[in-house]
Chain A
Amino acid sequence: MKIMLLPIITLIWVTAGAVIAWTMPAANQLRATPAAFYHVPMAIAMEIAFVLSALYGIGWLRGRRVESDARSVAYAEVGFAFGIVALITGSVWAKINWNSYWSWDPQQIGIVATLLTYAALFSLRGATEDDLRRRDYWAVYAILGVIAAIFWTFVFRHLTSFSLHPSKTLTGSDPLFKFALRFNIVGFTMLLIWIANLRTRVTMVEERLHDRALQPLQPLASAANEETKEAKDVQWVSN
């Protein structure tokens, strides 16, 4: 029952958020569109996913538990998907407001650069053969990626003086608008956690199937455990 609680709350919450989004009036000099209430929360959830991915990466480097690595990968994957949704809904909103899908706004450049970092992360993982090394490199690069993401999110828009994106949308706009945005941020963050949890479980099952799980998490029976240990010892010797 405890496991089912998060999906149920999340689904109700996100549905309620979608209903609010469709009924919202215009605010903060922006034209009203339901896309807005997906764009902002998705972008913020993507940033949260990146930070969580790096934190679980640190977890992997400290404890070398396969689950930390699986969670790190899961958050990066879901964050990447959320980022693409944020990019598309953002473009739709930009077309409505600024009459162009793409105008090289600092925020637009920032999200593309962040997605590029994610893509590099995946290509690095695909290119590394050694199992342990692959996970180590992943964690190290995820941490480096957060430094770049911090630059794009907080520094870059102050560096360039122009930006079409209005500032203080989350703190300074109409109370109802503000509430709807915050409500959806919480909803999509829960959605992020739920999907990432599911993804982690799938990865862990795959790990077991491929017998790749490392010792602390080895879920096999003790006899089988001994057997694999022996097999590994033999492999070491033959290497």
Chain B
Amino acid sequence: MIPAEPALTRASAAMPCVAPPLMSLRAVRAVFWKEWQSEWRTRASVKAIALFAIAAPIALSFSVAGQRLSPEVLAGALWTTLLFAALIGLSRAWVKEEENNTLALLRLGCASEAVLWGKVLWNGVLLLATQLAAVPIFIVLLDARVSNVPLFVLALLLGDAGLAIASGLLGAMSSGARARGALFCAIAVPILLPLLVSASWATAVAFGARHDAQSALQAMAAYDVALLAASWMLFDFVWN
């Protein structure tokens, strides 16, 4: 006897975002898991982000070796490094779909919100994982002293959240255009600059600069929320 029922259930378990038209956490998880698995095959994005984030402070250290850098300069260098490292890797999540012609399947299978938040979540995890390696190397190579660790971590997390959220909507836009990778940088930088500025400001305080970090953190949080709301509302127009 052919077990019709179990086979059906297995099929829907393999593609859990097929059935529900509304966004469900299960669908988001499915997209995230798909990203995880396809990244694990080549590890291209992880390598790109990590290598850039490690190579940049090494390149910097040639010119500033032996000098005591001010907290503001260190914070600026850290965030410039992290931003460009992120720009190199984050567009991969979308460009990959376009190159492999898998966008149509994703469109058919999942609610647009599930795709967006799955990718955003994946990009956030990717950033955190690569920064776990890159930030300590930066701190050691450029001899930075983190005087306020909680503030430093909070600034990193808020910055990463903004980067990940923005990369969802902007990555989808750039993947549909010519010269995808270069265009992603061109359109992401102006949107991410406010975040970069506030993050550098807060990180400088964590490195020992004497000014108020609270307003910078508030600005970052507010900007993250604004990006989140805008992505949520506008993604349908980009996706469909």
Taking beta carbons and an 8 Å cutoff, which residues of A are in contact with B?
Answer: 61, 113, 116-117, 119-120, 123-124, 127-130, 133, 136-137, 139-141, 143-145, 147-148, 151-152, 155-156, 158-161
Contacts and interface: CB of A to CB of B under 8 A. Distances in A.
Interface residues of B, number: 31
Interface of B: 169-170, 173-174, 176-179, 183, 186-187, 189-191, 193-194, 197-198, 201, 211, 215-216, 219, 222-223, 226-227, 230, 234, 237-238
B93 to A, nearest CB: 18
Q: Give the most central of B169, B187, B226: most A CB within 10 Å.
A: B187
Contacts of B186: 120, 123-124
Contacts, number: 87
Contacts of B194: 113, 148, 151-152, 155-156
Contact of A124 (B187, B193, B211, B215): B187
A124 B183 contact: yes
A159 B219 contact: yes
Nearest to A134: B177
A130 B238 CA distance: 12
A58 B25 CA distance: 29
B237 to A, nearest CB: 5
A158 B211 CA distance: 13
Contacts of B197: 156, 159
A61 B227 contact: no
A147 B183 contact: no
B176 A151 contact: no
23 contacts: A113-B194, A116-B189, A120-B187, A120-B190, A124-B177, A127-B177, A128-B176, A129-B178, A136-B238, A139-B237, A140-B237, A140-B238, A141-B173, A144-B170, A145-B191, A147-B230, A148-B190, A148-B191, A151-B219, A155-B219, A158-B215, A159-B198, A160-B201
B230 A137 contact: no
Nearest to A151: B194
A158 to B, nearest CB: 7
A144 B191 contact: yes
Contacts of A137: 173, 176-177, 238
A144 B190 CA distance: 10
Contacts of B198: 159
A159 B201 contact: yes
B178 A127 contact: yes
A143 B169 CA distance: 12
A137 B177 CA distance: 10
A151 B223 CA distance: 8
B189 A120 contact: yes
Contact of A143 (B215, B216, B234): B234
Contacts of B193: 113, 116, 148
A140 B234 contact: yes
Contact of B179 (A113, A127, A140, A147): A127
Contacts of A152: 194
A147 B178 contact: no
B223 A144 contact: no
Q: Which of B216, B219, B234 has the most CB of A within 10 A?
A: B234
Given A123-B186, A144-B169, A155-B222, 14 more contacts: A116-B189, A116-B193, A120-B189, A123-B183, A123-B187, A124-B187, A127-B178, A127-B183, A137-B173, A140-B234, A143-B234, A144-B234, A147-B230, A151-B223
